[in-house]
Amino acid sequence: MTTAPTSTTSAGSAAGAPVGRFGRLTARGANAARSPRAPRRGEDELRALAAAGAAELGDDAPAEEVVAWAARAFPGSLAVACSMADAVLPHVVAALIPGVDVLFLETGYHFAETEGTRDAVAETMDVTVVDVLPELTIAEQDERYGEALHSRDPSRCCALRKVAPLARALSGYEAWATGVRREDAITRVSTPLVGFDETHRIVKINPLAAWSLDELLAYASEHGVIVNPLLADGYPSIGCEPCTARVAPGQDPRSGRWAGFAKTECGIHL
Protein backbone atom coordinates (compact mmCIF):
# COMPACT_ATOMS: atom_id res chain seq x y z
CA MET A 1 0.00 0.00 0.00
CA THR A 2 1.41 3.35 -1.04
CA THR A 3 0.32 6.69 0.39
CA ALA A 4 -0.14 9.35 -2.26
CA PRO A 5 1.68 12.68 -1.94
CA THR A 6 -0.18 15.95 -1.60
CA SER A 7 -0.85 17.57 -4.96
CA THR A 8 0.67 20.86 -6.01
CA THR A 9 -1.52 20.97 -9.13
CA SER A 10 -4.31 23.53 -9.02
CA ALA A 11 -7.81 22.09 -8.86
CA GLY A 12 -9.61 21.78 -12.14
CA SER A 13 -6.57 22.31 -14.33
CA ALA A 14 -4.55 19.80 -16.30
CA ALA A 15 -1.87 22.30 -17.25
CA GLY A 16 1.46 20.80 -16.32
CA ALA A 17 -0.32 17.66 -15.14
CA PRO A 18 1.81 14.56 -14.68
CA VAL A 19 1.45 12.10 -17.50
CA GLY A 20 2.10 8.39 -17.08
CA ARG A 21 2.15 5.68 -19.72
CA PHE A 22 -1.35 6.51 -20.96
CA GLY A 23 -1.65 10.10 -19.79
CA ARG A 24 -4.20 12.44 -18.36
CA LEU A 25 -6.96 14.35 -20.10
CA THR A 26 -9.38 17.11 -19.18
CA ALA A 27 -13.02 17.16 -20.24
CA ARG A 28 -15.36 20.07 -19.59
CA GLY A 29 -19.00 20.66 -20.48
CA ALA A 30 -20.12 19.39 -23.87
CA ASN A 31 -16.59 18.12 -24.54
CA ALA A 32 -16.86 15.66 -21.65
CA ALA A 33 -18.47 12.97 -23.81
CA ARG A 34 -15.86 10.83 -25.54
CA SER A 35 -16.32 9.49 -29.04
CA PRO A 36 -16.90 5.73 -28.77
CA ARG A 37 -14.47 3.50 -30.65
CA ALA A 38 -17.44 1.71 -32.18
CA PRO A 39 -21.12 2.62 -32.50
CA ARG A 40 -22.77 2.39 -29.11
CA ARG A 41 -25.18 -0.53 -28.89
CA GLY A 42 -28.85 0.06 -28.20
CA GLU A 43 -30.48 0.03 -24.79
CA ASP A 44 -32.19 -3.34 -25.31
CA GLU A 45 -28.89 -5.02 -26.13
CA LEU A 46 -27.17 -3.41 -23.14
CA ARG A 47 -29.99 -4.52 -20.84
CA ALA A 48 -29.63 -8.06 -22.14
CA LEU A 49 -25.87 -7.96 -21.55
CA ALA A 50 -26.42 -6.73 -17.99
CA ALA A 51 -28.88 -9.53 -17.29
CA ALA A 52 -26.53 -12.12 -18.77
CA GLY A 53 -23.63 -10.81 -16.71
CA ALA A 54 -25.65 -10.84 -13.51
CA ALA A 55 -26.73 -14.42 -14.16
CA GLU A 56 -23.21 -15.57 -14.99
CA LEU A 57 -21.43 -13.85 -12.10
CA GLY A 58 -23.99 -14.14 -9.32
CA ASP A 59 -23.63 -12.08 -6.16
CA ASP A 60 -20.05 -12.71 -5.09
CA ALA A 61 -17.79 -13.56 -8.04
CA PRO A 62 -14.16 -12.45 -7.58
CA ALA A 63 -13.46 -8.91 -8.75
CA GLU A 64 -11.01 -10.13 -11.38
CA GLU A 65 -13.69 -12.41 -12.84
CA VAL A 66 -16.14 -9.51 -12.99
CA VAL A 67 -13.60 -7.34 -14.81
CA ALA A 68 -12.72 -10.16 -17.21
CA TRP A 69 -16.41 -10.46 -18.11
CA ALA A 70 -16.62 -6.68 -18.64
CA ALA A 71 -13.53 -6.69 -20.84
CA ARG A 72 -15.14 -9.28 -23.10
CA ALA A 73 -18.55 -7.63 -23.13
CA PHE A 74 -17.47 -4.00 -23.63
CA PRO A 75 -14.18 -3.84 -25.54
CA GLY A 76 -13.10 -0.22 -25.81
CA SER A 77 -16.31 1.08 -24.24
CA LEU A 78 -15.84 0.74 -20.48
CA ALA A 79 -14.97 3.58 -18.12
CA VAL A 80 -13.92 3.41 -14.48
CA ALA A 81 -15.21 6.05 -12.06
CA CYS A 82 -12.83 6.74 -9.19
CA SER A 83 -13.14 9.19 -6.29
CA MET A 84 -9.44 8.70 -5.51
CA ALA A 85 -10.05 7.49 -1.98
CA ASP A 86 -7.85 4.66 -3.18
CA ALA A 87 -6.69 3.23 -6.51
CA VAL A 88 -7.72 -0.39 -5.96
CA LEU A 89 -10.44 -0.44 -8.62
CA PRO A 90 -8.25 1.16 -11.34
CA HIS A 91 -5.50 -1.31 -10.41
CA VAL A 92 -7.82 -4.32 -10.71
CA VAL A 93 -9.28 -3.13 -14.02
CA ALA A 94 -5.99 -2.02 -15.59
CA ALA A 95 -4.51 -5.48 -15.07
CA LEU A 96 -6.94 -6.74 -17.73
CA ILE A 97 -7.69 -3.51 -19.63
CA PRO A 98 -4.49 -1.42 -19.86
CA GLY A 99 -5.14 2.22 -20.70
CA VAL A 100 -8.73 2.13 -19.45
CA ASP A 101 -10.31 5.56 -18.97
CA VAL A 102 -10.53 6.49 -15.28
CA LEU A 103 -13.04 9.30 -14.75
CA PHE A 104 -12.30 11.70 -11.89
CA LEU A 105 -14.98 14.27 -11.10
CA GLU A 106 -12.86 17.38 -10.65
CA THR A 107 -15.25 19.52 -8.62
CA GLY A 108 -12.66 22.11 -7.64
CA TYR A 109 -13.35 21.43 -3.97
CA HIS A 110 -11.24 18.33 -3.36
CA PHE A 111 -8.75 17.83 -0.55
CA ALA A 112 -5.12 18.29 -1.58
CA GLU A 113 -4.59 14.64 -0.61
CA THR A 114 -7.25 13.57 -3.10
CA GLU A 115 -5.65 15.62 -5.86
CA GLY A 116 -2.32 14.04 -4.93
CA THR A 117 -3.80 10.57 -5.21
CA ARG A 118 -5.19 11.43 -8.65
CA ASP A 119 -1.80 12.73 -9.77
CA ALA A 120 -0.02 9.62 -8.51
CA VAL A 121 -2.48 7.34 -10.30
CA ALA A 122 -1.90 9.24 -13.55
CA GLU A 123 1.87 9.02 -13.10
CA THR A 124 2.24 5.39 -12.12
CA MET A 125 -0.64 3.28 -13.39
CA ASP A 126 -1.53 1.92 -16.82
CA VAL A 127 -4.69 4.02 -17.07
CA THR A 128 -5.86 7.22 -18.72
CA VAL A 129 -7.08 9.59 -16.01
CA VAL A 130 -9.82 11.86 -17.34
CA ASP A 131 -10.58 14.96 -15.25
CA VAL A 132 -14.29 15.56 -15.78
CA LEU A 133 -15.04 19.20 -15.03
CA PRO A 134 -18.36 21.00 -14.48
CA GLU A 135 -19.58 23.52 -17.03
CA LEU A 136 -19.13 26.31 -14.47
CA THR A 137 -15.94 27.19 -12.65
CA ILE A 138 -16.33 27.85 -8.93
CA ALA A 139 -16.19 31.59 -9.60
CA GLU A 140 -18.91 31.31 -12.24
CA GLN A 141 -21.05 29.19 -9.94
CA ASP A 142 -20.59 31.70 -7.10
CA GLU A 143 -21.68 34.52 -9.39
CA ARG A 144 -24.78 32.66 -10.56
CA TYR A 145 -25.90 30.95 -7.33
CA GLY A 146 -24.10 32.88 -4.59
CA GLU A 147 -20.94 31.96 -2.73
CA ALA A 148 -20.57 28.62 -0.96
CA LEU A 149 -23.59 26.96 -2.54
CA HIS A 150 -22.48 23.73 -0.88
CA SER A 151 -23.18 25.21 2.56
CA ARG A 152 -26.76 26.20 1.64
CA ASP A 153 -27.91 23.69 -0.96
CA PRO A 154 -25.43 20.80 -1.17
CA SER A 155 -27.73 18.76 -3.40
CA ARG A 156 -27.72 21.46 -6.07
CA CYS A 157 -23.96 21.85 -5.74
CA CYS A 158 -23.49 18.09 -6.21
CA ALA A 159 -25.87 18.15 -9.17
CA LEU A 160 -23.86 20.89 -10.86
CA ARG A 161 -20.36 19.68 -10.06
CA LYS A 162 -20.77 15.89 -10.02
CA VAL A 163 -24.04 14.49 -11.34
CA ALA A 164 -24.39 16.48 -14.57
CA PRO A 165 -20.69 16.25 -15.57
CA LEU A 166 -20.69 12.49 -15.01
CA ALA A 167 -23.84 12.06 -17.11
CA ARG A 168 -22.21 13.90 -20.00
CA ALA A 169 -19.00 11.92 -19.67
CA LEU A 170 -20.74 8.53 -19.57
CA SER A 171 -22.73 9.22 -22.72
CA GLY A 172 -19.77 7.97 -24.76
CA TYR A 173 -19.54 4.56 -23.07
CA GLU A 174 -21.58 1.37 -22.91
CA ALA A 175 -20.61 0.53 -19.33
CA TRP A 176 -18.98 2.00 -16.28
CA ALA A 177 -17.29 0.39 -13.30
CA THR A 178 -17.50 1.82 -9.79
CA GLY A 179 -15.89 1.08 -6.45
CA VAL A 180 -19.20 0.98 -4.57
CA ARG A 181 -19.15 -1.62 -1.79
CA ARG A 182 -22.15 -3.04 0.05
CA GLU A 183 -20.74 -2.22 3.45
CA ASP A 184 -20.30 1.47 2.58
CA ALA A 185 -23.78 2.40 3.78
CA ILE A 186 -27.23 0.97 4.40
CA THR A 187 -28.30 2.40 1.04
CA ARG A 188 -25.74 0.18 -0.72
CA VAL A 189 -26.27 -3.22 0.92
CA SER A 190 -28.01 -4.68 -2.13
CA THR A 191 -25.48 -3.42 -4.69
CA PRO A 192 -25.18 -6.02 -7.51
CA LEU A 193 -21.97 -6.93 -9.29
CA VAL A 194 -23.63 -6.12 -12.62
CA GLY A 195 -26.84 -4.27 -13.39
CA PHE A 196 -28.44 -1.87 -15.82
CA ASP A 197 -28.10 1.78 -14.81
CA GLU A 198 -31.54 3.29 -15.32
CA THR A 199 -30.18 6.82 -14.92
CA HIS A 200 -27.43 6.71 -17.53
CA ARG A 201 -28.98 3.94 -19.65
CA ILE A 202 -25.78 1.90 -19.72
CA VAL A 203 -24.45 -1.10 -17.80
CA LYS A 204 -23.09 -0.49 -14.31
CA ILE A 205 -20.45 -2.82 -12.90
CA ASN A 206 -19.40 -2.96 -9.25
CA PRO A 207 -16.48 -5.41 -9.07
CA LEU A 208 -15.70 -4.65 -5.41
CA ALA A 209 -19.30 -4.77 -4.17
CA ALA A 210 -18.71 -7.78 -1.90
CA TRP A 211 -15.42 -6.49 -0.45
CA SER A 212 -14.99 -5.20 3.10
CA LEU A 213 -12.76 -2.23 3.88
CA ASP A 214 -10.26 -4.63 5.44
CA GLU A 215 -10.15 -6.67 2.22
CA LEU A 216 -9.66 -3.52 0.18
CA LEU A 217 -6.80 -2.31 2.37
CA ALA A 218 -5.23 -5.78 2.37
CA TYR A 219 -5.28 -5.81 -1.44
CA ALA A 220 -3.72 -2.35 -1.52
CA SER A 221 -0.99 -3.46 0.87
CA GLU A 222 -0.25 -6.69 -0.99
CA HIS A 223 -0.03 -5.01 -4.39
CA GLY A 224 1.47 -1.67 -3.37
CA VAL A 225 -1.61 0.21 -4.56
CA ILE A 226 -1.93 3.94 -3.92
CA VAL A 227 -4.24 4.92 -1.06
CA ASN A 228 -5.43 8.40 -0.11
CA PRO A 229 -3.71 9.27 3.21
CA LEU A 230 -7.00 10.65 4.54
CA LEU A 231 -8.30 7.08 4.95
CA ALA A 232 -5.85 6.65 7.82
CA ASP A 233 -6.69 10.06 9.27
CA GLY A 234 -10.31 9.49 10.25
CA TYR A 235 -11.94 9.87 6.83
CA PRO A 236 -13.39 6.48 5.79
CA SER A 237 -15.54 8.22 3.14
CA ILE A 238 -13.91 11.05 1.23
CA GLY A 239 -15.76 13.69 -0.76
CA CYS A 240 -15.26 17.40 -1.32
CA GLU A 241 -13.34 19.11 1.48
CA PRO A 242 -16.07 21.56 2.60
CA CYS A 243 -18.61 18.73 2.90
CA THR A 244 -16.47 16.01 4.54
CA ALA A 245 -15.63 15.67 8.23
CA ARG A 246 -13.73 13.11 10.27
CA VAL A 247 -15.72 10.16 11.58
CA ALA A 248 -15.39 8.77 15.10
CA PRO A 249 -14.55 5.06 15.44
CA GLY A 250 -17.69 2.94 15.21
CA GLN A 251 -19.75 5.56 13.41
CA ASP A 252 -21.34 5.04 10.00
CA PRO A 253 -18.47 5.54 7.51
CA ARG A 254 -20.54 8.09 5.59
CA SER A 255 -21.70 10.06 8.63
CA GLY A 256 -18.99 12.63 7.98
CA ARG A 257 -20.49 13.57 4.63
CA TRP A 258 -22.77 16.65 4.50
CA ALA A 259 -22.97 16.90 8.29
CA GLY A 260 -26.09 18.79 9.36
CA PHE A 261 -28.04 17.87 6.23
CA ALA A 262 -30.45 14.99 5.57
CA LYS A 263 -28.20 13.84 2.74
CA THR A 264 -26.12 10.69 2.44
CA GLU A 265 -25.38 10.44 -1.30
CA CYS A 266 -24.05 12.94 -3.82
CA GLY A 267 -26.45 11.56 -6.42
CA ILE A 268 -24.20 9.74 -8.88
CA HIS A 269 -25.20 6.31 -7.54
CA LEU A 270 -28.93 6.96 -7.16
Q: Is the dihedral of CA 97, 215, 118, 165 positive or negative?
A: positive
Helix, strand, or coil here: 79? Answer: strand
Helices (H), 58-111: 63-73, 88-94
What is the maximal distance between C-alpha atoms in the chain?
50
Q: Which of 120, 209, 266, 268 is catalytic?
A: 266
Residue 158 is labelled as binding a ligand: yes
Residue 82 is labelled as binding a ligand: no
Contact 106, 77 (CB under 8 A): no
Query: Can 266 be counted among the known catalytic residues?
Result: yes
> 241 φ, ψ to 5°?
-60, -45
Could you tell me the CA-to-CA distances from 243 to 14, 118, 236 in Å, in that order? 24, 19, 14
Closest CA to 8 of 123, 115, 111: 115
According to DSSP, residue 258 is labeled S
Run of H or E residues at 138: helix 138-145
Cα separation, 131 vs 137, whole angstroms: 14
Q: What is the dihedral of CA 86, 91, 97, 101, to 10 degrees?
A: 30
Which residues fall in the annotated binding site? 157-158, 240, 243
Q: Which residues are catalytic?
A: 266
Which residues fall in the annotated binding site for [4Fe-4S] cluster? 157-158, 240, 243
